[in-house]
């Protein structure tokens, strides 16, 4: 079923039918050992295509795959999440199920899972199950998940068009339950006066309401590799089910009846946490495990795991492309496959000296302290090793501090949940009793936040890395599968893993042993990074409030882990305001701006305080010798482009002239100054409405290649085209950065290599 679902987007229906027929023939006349597998794969492939094809009333069949204006009636199917971007209004994204579509003067029945996007002032005053109507824009290609199902569209209502049609919750019981949920949230806020961060953490972990978590807190958990504690999944439902089973056992209930008591309560918990996909996956896995008792069978972890995996992929085949699904089953499967062997090795390594004289304290530690610590170490270390390649491939992130952080973060989360769930029952008591009941959970939340803040300050704890190729990911997990499937030949799997690690380290060393230049498109400008072996990065400009996110993501995707210096060429918001996003992942050690613009309002909030530069200054940063060619100390007037920094980077045979936002007027000033301009690479300026790169300037610089940014304010302007033609006319190479992309140039043995897009 997994293979069939993974093949769904890549092969046509005719190819699927052909493959299915081939598998059926193999099942009939092929070798006996392959007949069952071939027959099962044929059935799974046909089932996936039958469930993946849209019905006649499905939105995918009703509308064309393009943005269009529509009028819809829909039902809310989960909690909304708040997304906040610097310089932009907050956006609330809520999963909804479309019921009707208004066409040609009548309401037609249409179905589709859609992600509703609203600005913060237009937030819904309803809960899961209420029905709404709105007109707006329906945009295809949104691949988010509503419960176990993928939402293929996003819907942006017109301002003021949103109106509630019904407030029903599906039943009076659920309606009353959601009212209790809102009361729980209010009681948590009342129990944590003047501590909004603690209140938001408790709501996120106990109720699944993550909308109140501020962006800084979320990013802190992301950078330390601990964001998983906020996913309502196996930890939450496993702890809750353990508490319920303990209560059933204490009440003298037979194990055969646990299923009928525990599962309904877990379903209610899953409902009030917003029907999130992670909670539904965990619910199904626990249900498969509890299902053995009513049939007088002993629970078998591997069988329950396989049954849950099969059922989820059968219900929603597209789940195989959901990152949460991949992490959940990859880690649980790895614990089932390697947990015992890994735990045995840890026990052998931590085994006490048998010849030491025993004592009461030693016996207590060996029975009650070391076993839980060894178990936590086993789970944390194994999950870290298994998930690290997938995390590097997906998020360009490697967090070694997470290996240590989980050892305390997971127990703190466990304590918070173990004390918080019973405290929720205190909402029916007086307010003073509620505040007292939440004290342990409040302390646990505060300790968790303090622990994460401490981890973030550890040097080298979080590193951005270049994503490994897909083939390396497949080889890594393929070797692990062979190790588990054929344990007698695990030496070959170990050899494959060691060879893969050696190749990755060698490739990394070869890639970073030469100087490197990166040029990134930044909407209405460009940004640059310079690197020397053994040094951090020098970043020039950070993009706008919006494109700064793209710049930061490109830096992360290229494995930029540290920024030694950040230079702003001129005070233009399209080149400066991206620093707010950049600072979420990087903390530059030095900041530089033109001395004439030190007091500009765009630079007032920068930390640390920027240093001023003027013509004639020479300084060393990131292994580069940097000369300032413009502006002079007297250049305090004119447009921002005419006050742009012009810098010459040199290191050995490498030399790069960066023009920033400078145009023809600045080029003439540089020529008149008499300073050395010769450089192997010319990073052409990005002026507003000015010409540039004239023959006399090219003759003074004598570059091997000229690099232009991807676009100007209105695409590639006539002035830009004329400049590129002049460069071609003198026989020089021209490189242009791709829109919303980047370009990497390397210098090897004194020869400039061709720029490589990224």
Consecutive H or E run containing 149:
strand 149-157
Domains 59-168 and 516-757 agree in fold: no
Where do the DSSP E strands lie in 352-447?
A: 397-398
Residue 108 φ then ψ, to 5°? -100, 145
- Residue 596 CA to residue 1 CA, distance in Å, equals 65
In this prediction, residue 591 carries a pLDDT of: 92
464 strand-pairing partners: 397
- CA dihedral (235, 241, 244, 245) positive or negative: negative
Nearest of 418, 320, 349, 398 to residue 8 by alpha carbon: 320
Consecutive H or E run containing 135:
strand 131-146
Fold of 59-168: OB fold (Dihydrolipoamide Acetyltransferase, E2P) (2.40.50)
- Residue 274 CA to residue 732 CA, distance in Å, equals 59
- Residue 707 CA to residue 750 CA, distance in Å, equals 19
Beta-sheet pairing, 646-651 with 624-630: antiparallel
Torsion of CA 195, 201, 202, 204, to 10 degrees: 140
Consecutive H or E run containing 501:
helix 490-511
480 token code pair: 């692990």
- Residue 14 CA to residue 24 CA, distance in Å, equals 15
Residue 385 φ then ψ, to 5°? -65, -40
> Contact 535/626 with Cβ under 8 angstroms?
no
Nearest of 613, 570, 559, 557 to residue 590 by alpha carbon: 613
Q: What is the mean pLDDT of each run of 10 residues along the chain (758 residues)?
A: 73 76 82 79 78 76 83 82 60 84 86 80 64 89 61 82 73 61 79 83 80 76 76 74 86 85 84 71 84 82 84 79 80 85 78 68 72 77 86 83 83 85 77 80 90 84 82 91 87 91 84 79 80 84 84 85 89 87 84 89 86 90 89 72 89 83 86 85 81 84 83 61 81 77 66 59
**How many other C-beta atoms can be found within 10 angstroms of the C-beta atom of residue 526?**
30
Cis-peptide into 631, omega within 30 deg: yes
The CATH superfamily of 516-757 is: Ribonuclease Z/Hydroxyacylglutathione hydrolase-like (3.60.15.10)
In this prediction, residue 750 carries a pLDDT of: 46
- CA dihedral (662, 664, 666, 668) positive or negative: positive
In this prediction, residue 357 carries a pLDDT of: 66
The owner of tokens 């991206």 is 578
> Contact 58/76 with Cβ under 8 angstroms?
no
In this prediction, residue 661 carries a pLDDT of: 84
- Residue 57 CA to residue 71 CA, distance in Å, equals 15
Query: How far is the CA of 543 from the CAs of 307, 633, 645, in angstroms?
Result: 49, 26, 16
- Residue 332 CA to residue 289 CA, distance in Å, equals 13
**How many other C-beta atoms can be found within 10 angstroms of the C-beta atom of residue 313?**
24
Q: Give the helix, strand, coil percentages of the chain, each rounded to 5.
A: 50, 20, 30
> Contact 615/606 with Cβ under 8 angstroms?
no
> Contact 522/541 with Cβ under 8 angstroms?
yes
79 token code pair: 């909690």
Residue boundaries of the structural domains of the chain: 2-52, 59-168, 332-351+364-398, 470-511, 516-757
538 token code pair: 């020098």
């Amino acid at each position: 079923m997994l293979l069939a679902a993974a093949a769904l987007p890549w092969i046509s229906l005719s190819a699927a039918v052909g493959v299915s027929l081939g598998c059926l023939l193999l099942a009939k006349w092929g070798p006996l050992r392959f007949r069952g597998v071939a027959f099962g794969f044929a059935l799974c492939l046909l089932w996936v295509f039958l469930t993946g094809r849209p019905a006649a009333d499905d939105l995918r069949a009703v509308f064309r795959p393009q943005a269009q204006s529509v009028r819809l009636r829909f039902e809310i199917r989960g909690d909304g999440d708040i997304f906040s971007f610097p310089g932009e209004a907050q956006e609330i994204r809520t999963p909804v199920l479309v019921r009707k579509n208004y066409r040609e003067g009548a309401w037609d029945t249409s179905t589709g899972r859609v992600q509703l996007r609203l600005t913060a002032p237009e937030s819904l005053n309803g809960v899961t199950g209420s029905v709404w109507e709105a007109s707006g824009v329906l945009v295809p290609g949104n691949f988010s998940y509503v419960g176990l199902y993928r939402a293929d569209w996003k819907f942006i209502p017109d301002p003021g068009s949103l109106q509630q049609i019904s407030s029903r919750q599906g039943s009076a019981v659920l309606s009353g339950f959601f009212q209790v949920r809102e009361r729980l949230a209010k009681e948590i806020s009342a129990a944590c006066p003047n501590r909004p961060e603690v209140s938001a953490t408790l709501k996120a972990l106990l109720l699944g309401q993550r909308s109140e978590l501020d962006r800084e807190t979320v990013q802190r958990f992301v950078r330390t590799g601990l964001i998983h504690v906020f996913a309502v999944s196996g930890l939450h439902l496993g702890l809750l089910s353990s508490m319920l089973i303990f209560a059933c056992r204490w009440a003298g209930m037979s194990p055969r009846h646990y299923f009928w008591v525990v599962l309904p309560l877990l379903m209610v918990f899953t409902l009030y946490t917003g029907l999130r996909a992670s909670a539904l996956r965990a619910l199904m896995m626990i249900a498969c495990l509890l299902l053995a008792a009513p049939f007088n069978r002993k629970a078998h972890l591997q069988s329950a795991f396989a049954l849950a995996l099969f059922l989820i992929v059968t219900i929603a085949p597209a789940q195989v492309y959901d990152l949460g699904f991949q992490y959940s089953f990859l880690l649980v499967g790895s614990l089932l496959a390697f947990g015992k062997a890994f735990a045995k090795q840890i026990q052998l390594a931590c085994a006490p000296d048998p010849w030491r004289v025993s004592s009461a304290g030693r016996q207590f530690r060996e029975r009650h302290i070391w076993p839980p610590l060894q178990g936590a170490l086993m789970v944390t270390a194994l999950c870290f090793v298994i998930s690290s390649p997938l995390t590097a491939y997906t998020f360009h992130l490697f967090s070694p501090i997470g290996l240590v952080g989980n050892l305390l973060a997971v127990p703190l989360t466990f304590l918070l949940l173990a004390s918080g769930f019973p405290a929720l029952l205190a909402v029916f008591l007086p307010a003073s009793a509620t505040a007292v009941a939440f004290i342990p959970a409040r302390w646990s939340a505060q300790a968790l936040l303090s622990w994460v803040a401490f981890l973030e300050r550890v040097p080298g704890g979080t590193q951005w890395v270049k994503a490994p190729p897909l083939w390396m990911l497949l080889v890594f997990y393929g070797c692990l599968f062979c190790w588990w499937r054929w344990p007698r030949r695990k030496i070959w799997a170990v050899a494959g893993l060691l060879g893969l690690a050696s190749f990755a380290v060698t490739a990394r060393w070869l890639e970073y042993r030469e100087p490197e230049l990166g040029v990134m498109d930044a909407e209405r400008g460009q940004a640059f990074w310079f690197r020397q072996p053994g040094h951090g990065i020098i970043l020039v400009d950070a993009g706008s409030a919006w494109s700064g996110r793209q710049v930061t993501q490109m830096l992360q995707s290229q494995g930029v882990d540290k920024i030694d210096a950040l230079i702003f060429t001129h005070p233009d918001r399209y080149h400066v305001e991206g620093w707010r996003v950049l600072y979420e992942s990087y903390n530059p050690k030095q900041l530089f701006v033109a001395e004439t613009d030190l007091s500009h309002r765009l630079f007032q909030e920068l930390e640390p305080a920027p240093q001023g530069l003027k013509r004639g200054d020479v300084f060393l940063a990131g292994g580069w010798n940097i000369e300032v060619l413009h502006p002079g100390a007297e250049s305090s007037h004119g447009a921002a482009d005419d006050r742009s920094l012009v810098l010459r980077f040199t290191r050995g045979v490498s030399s790069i002239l960066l023009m920033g936002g400078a145009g023809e007027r600045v080029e003439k000033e540089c020529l008149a100054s008499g300073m050395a301009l010769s450089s192997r690479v010319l990073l052409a300026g990005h002026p507003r409405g000015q010409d540039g790169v004239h023959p006399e300037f090219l003759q003074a610089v004598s570059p091997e290649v000229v690099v232009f940014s991807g676009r100007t304010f209105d695409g590639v302007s006539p002035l830009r085209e004329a400049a590129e033609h002049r460069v071609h006319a003198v026989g020089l190479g021209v490189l242009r950065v791709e829109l919303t992309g980047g370009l990497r140039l390397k210098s090897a043995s004194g020869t400039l290599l061709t720029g490589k897009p990224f």
